[in-house]
């Protein structure tokens, strides 16, 4: 249980730090781009999506590690223990879609909930970031 808590904490902290650094980088880069404001907004959107994908893959590697180490629980259902299935489950959890075709058991359930909460917070953070960037870029238009 303590190892699950530590791993969960590391994964959440990693996702938050990745997101912080990505948005910080975008804040610095977007104003320096020599392109139209609309294209700068698109650059910001694609940059943020890329950050979300990296964060989701970090969780996917966490699930993959936990499954193959044993003692953390399991993912059951339409699941073959592959990294691709872990990434699919991670995308579904992060975005809070919760299709239900793969179900977490044991300590793995806590990570699924934390990933959904982290995804909600980071997606909201991206939305507010993009709103602010759009205000800066479109205030005179």
Beta bridge partners of residue 80, listed in sequence order = none
pLDDT of residue 129: 96
Percent of the chain with pLDDT over 90: 89
Q: What is the mean pLDDT of the chain?
A: 94
**For every residue of the chain, which 3-state class applies, written as one string?**
CHHHHHHHHHHHHHHHHHHHHHHHHHHHHHHHCCCCHHHHHHHHHHHHHHHHHHHHHHHHHHHHHHHHHCCCCEEEECCCCCHHHHHHHHHHHHCCCCCCCEEEECCHHHHHHHHHHHHHHHHHHHHHHHHHHHHHHHCCC
Of 121, 136, 137, 129, residue with least CA distance to 24: 129
CATH of domain 2-138: 1.10.287.70
Q: Average pLDDT in the 87-103 region? A: 95
* Confidence grade of residue 136 (pLDDT, cut at 50, 70, 90): confident
59, 115 Cβ separation under 8 angstroms: yes
pLDDT tens per residue, range 26-62: 999 999 999 998 899 999 999 999 999 999 999 999 9
pLDDT of residue 137: 79
pLDDT of residue 70: 87
- Judge whether residue 141 has pLDDT over 70: no
Domain boundaries, the chain: 2-138
Burial of 19 (0-12, 13-18, 19+ CB in 10 A): buried
* Confidence grade of residue 11 (pLDDT, cut at 50, 70, 90): very high
Query: From CA 3, how far away is CA 11, in angstroms rounded?
Result: 12
Chain Cα centroid distance, residue 132: 21
Of 103, 69, 109, residue with least CA distance to 85: 103
Q: Average pLDDT in the 93-102 region? A: 93
């Amino acid at each position: 249980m303590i190892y699950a808590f530590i791993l969960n904490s590391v994964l959440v902290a990693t996702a938050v730090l990745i997101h912080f650094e990505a948005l910080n980088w975008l804040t610095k880069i977007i104003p320096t781009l020599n392109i139209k404001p609309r294209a700068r907004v698109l650059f910001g959107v694609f940059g943020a999506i890329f950050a979300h994908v990296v964060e989701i893959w970090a969780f996917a590697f966490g699930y993959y590690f936990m499954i193959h180490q044993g003692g953390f629980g399991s993912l059951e259902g339409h699941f073959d223990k592959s990294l691709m299935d872990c990434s699919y489950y991670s995308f579904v959890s992060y975005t809070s879609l919760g299709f239900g075709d793969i179900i977490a058991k044991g300590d793995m359930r806590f990570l699924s909930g934390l990933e959904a909460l982290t995804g909600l917070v980071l997606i909201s953070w991206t939305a507010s970031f993009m709103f602010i960037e759009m205000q800066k870029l479109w205030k005179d238009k």
